Amino acid sequence: MTEQRTRIARQFIEAIPHARALGMQLDAVGDGVAELSMAYDERFIGDPSTGVIHGGAVFALMDTCCGAAVMNHATGAAGTATLDLRIDYMRPATPGQRIRTRAECYHVTRTVAFVRATATDDDDARPVATASAAFTVERAT
Partner 1 sequence: MTRPKPEPVQVIKQRRDAALHALVNGVPYIQFLGVEFDRRGDELTAILPYADKLIGNPILPALHGGGTAAFLEITAIIELAWAALWEDMEAGRLDPATLHPSHLPRLPKTIDFTVDYLRSGLPRDAYARARINRSGRRYASVHVEAWQDNRSRLFAQATGHFLMPERGA
Contact region for partner 1 (CB under 8 A) — 10-18, 69-77, 98-106, 110-118? 10-18
84 near partner 1, judged by CB under 8 A: yes
Closer CB to partner 1, 14 or 31, in the complex: 14
Q: How far is the CB of 53 from partner 1 (least distance, A)?
A: 8
38 near partner 1, judged by CB under 8 A: no
Contact region for partner 1 (CB under 8 A) — 26-34, 41-49, 103-111, 116-124? 41-49
**What is the rounded CA–CA span in Å between residue 119 and residue 123?**
10
**What is the rounded CA–CA span in Å between residue 141 and residue 50?**
50
40 near partner 1, judged by CB under 8 A: no
93 near partner 1, judged by CB under 8 A: no
Closer CB to partner 1, 49 or 111, in the complex: 49
Cβ proximity of 70 and 112 under 8 Å: no
61 near partner 1, judged by CB under 8 A: yes
Number of residues that bind partner 1 (CB under 8 A): 38
Return residues touching partner 1 (CB under 8 A).
15-22, 42-49, 53-57, 59-64, 67, 81-89, 92
